[in-house]
Amino acid sequence: MKYIFITGGVVSSLGKGITAGALGALLEACGHKVTCMKLDPYINVDPGTMSPSEHGEVYVTEDGFETDLDLGHYERFLSVSLKGATNYITSGQVYGEVIRKERRGDYLGKTVQVIPHITDHIQACIESVGQQHDITLVEVGGTVGDIESLPFIESIRQLRIKHGYHHVMFMHLTYLPYVRTAGEMKTKPTQHSVKELRSIGIQPDVLICRAETEISKGQKEKIGLFTNVANGHVISIPDVDSIYMLPTVLLEQGVHLLVSKQFQLASQEPSLDQWQSLVQKQKQAQQVLKIAIIGKYTKSKDAYKSLHEALMHAGMHLSQRLEVMYLDSETVSLERLEALGPDAILVPGGFGERGSEGKLEVIRWARTKSVPFLGICFGMQLAVIEFARDVLNLHHANSTELDSKTPDPIVCLIDELKSLASDEQMMGGNMRLGAVTDILVPGSHSQTIYATNQISERHRHRYEVNPLYLDKLDQAGLKVSAKSEKTGFIDMVELHDHPWFIGCQFHPEFNSKPLTPHPLFLSYLKAACQYHQSKGGTSRAA
């Protein structure tokens, strides 16, 4: 059992999750069995109830847990898929579990305290994951100095004492601001951050310094001297064009060698050829494709993180540069859309009424103007509603989520279809969550794209397309192309008299990795390319 704990200092949003993932990819390339986990200090049990505008996307794991978007970064860098049940821990979960035990009388009359009861529980969670892997990378959420993260920091301090230097490594990620008036990068905040960390008992073994540019050898030596970090253990991560360059940035500074030395592990010589050629392909991209995402969480950069990455993965493989335009569904107008001239439209997942009419309008535009369209989850539900209204003439067709009294509930609650759903995994207040197996309809466009008959994709929704309307939809041209193997729920639809129009009830973006892009996104971008060329597309990368 070997653990690398990654803490953060100075400021948040330094990319601890991305750094953990990139280090994971490098250590996998060295032949180790690696996993990542995250410890999040907030009191929520999970981010499922938090607004994506505030907290970023909710990432869904295969085993049906709603987790932090950093798990998405880990999965995209690692070859394995992670378990939300064990690889994601929040203070809310820890306190909840300890309080349950206390109520059961498990503590035999003792006073239940942060130390040892909360910290013991945290350690047990970490150790149970660590037992199954060569190296477990553990990211501690928040910034050192926060009150909330103290029990986690105390737990990892104790783990080092328990397992020793050769089993536990501390990495601290900090920031070096560039002060323009002085014309230099400043090391002082980093010195203070390490001082803060030391005051709670942790001396970092490795310092990873984020900065706009690379830091020099001299600066590394100065930082090492002031923070008590050994020569060669201060690593520089400058801003990069693509996050997928990071495994190489770490390799070039020998971070894997520091790990194998401290852990006394034999490692193979890592090859990052695949990562490097991926970044190369991206650099060669000639053409710019404009993809318009119509959503209501467009103000937060992180709200559609996995979707953004999935598009980028497909773009890199096709050597297409993408301009992803996030348009607010509450204010978007068709005039504006036409002026922007997107090569494809995407309506992502979402909840609630706000902005839904704007999305319906854009879907109609994409359908009637033959613009490639992908509707994901809520996006698929709205595509079915739009079709029912405009083609079936069911003018008040709706989802019961948006209008509980609609005369045509073309999308309705799983509960209302419950008799069908007995076997399938139901969690989080009847939310259909996690991986579900679907059977693709032979001969459908979707089956051709996936080139298989059976798929497994991740879900996160409560509402379903109502099967009572299937025949009518089918006769009018909206075809079902995938159904759940166990429940028969409608999981994909497509139009045949349109160049590319697909809706999926699941989130394919959670299954896309940079080295293995998702077939749906690849096919969608190919269609966008064709559409671009049919318009006489001339936009070239600068």
**Catalytic (active-site) positions:** 377, 507, 509
Point out which residues bind ligand GLN (CB under 6 A).
349-351, 377-378, 401, 460-463
- Give min distance, CB of 363 to ligand GLN, in A: 14
State the nearest-atom distance from the C-beta of 432 to ligand GLN, in Å: 8
Residue 26 CA: distances (Å) to CA of 77, 82, 207, 274, 306: 9, 17, 17, 12, 21
Least gap, CB of 156 to ligand GLN (angstroms): 34
> Strand pairing partners for 486?
none
Least distance (Å) between residue 461 CB and ligand GLN:
3
DSSP string for residues in 162-219? HH-TTTEEEEEEEE--EETTTTEE--HHHHHHHHHHHHTT---SEEEEEESSPPPHHH
**How many Å separate Cα 414 from the centre of its chain?**
26
Q: In the complex, what is the shortest distance from the CB of residue 204 to ligand GLN, in angstroms, rounded to a whole number?
A: 39
CA dist 292 and 373 (Å) reads 10
What is the closest distance, in whole angstroms, from the C-beta atom of residue 401 to ligand GLN in the complex?
5
Taking alpha carbons only, the member of 49, 93, 38 closest to residue 71 is 38
Residue nearest to ligand GLN (CB): 349
Q: Is the dihedral of CA 292, 53, 67, 174 positive or negative?
A: positive
Question: Cβ closer to ligand GLN: 489 or 524?
Answer: 489
Q: What's the CA gap between 444 and 467, in Å, rounded? A: 19
Closer CB to ligand GLN, 125 or 504, in the complex: 504
Question: With respect to ligand GLN, which residue has the nearer C-beta, 51 or 277?
Answer: 51
Pick between residue 138 and residue 377 the one whose CB is nearest to ligand GLN: 377
SS3 142: coil
Which CB sits closer to ligand GLN, 37 or 377?
377
d(CA 143, CA 55): 16
Place of tokens 């070039």: 252
Identify the residue whose tokens are 């540019």.
Answer: 213
**E strand or H helix at 502:** strand 501-504
What residues pair up with 34 in beta bridges, in sequence order? 135
Of the pair 219, 356, the CB lying nearest ligand GLN is at: 356
Smallest distance from the beta carbon of 356 to ligand GLN, in angstroms?
Answer: 10
- DSSP symbols for 291-324: EEEEES-TT-TTTTHHHHHHHHHHHHHTT-EEEE
Q: Which two tokens stand for residue 297?
A: 């969480």
Bridge pairing between strands 34-40 and 88-90: parallel
Find where tokens 């996998």 sit. Answer: 28
Of the pair 133, 461, the CB lying nearest ligand GLN is at 461
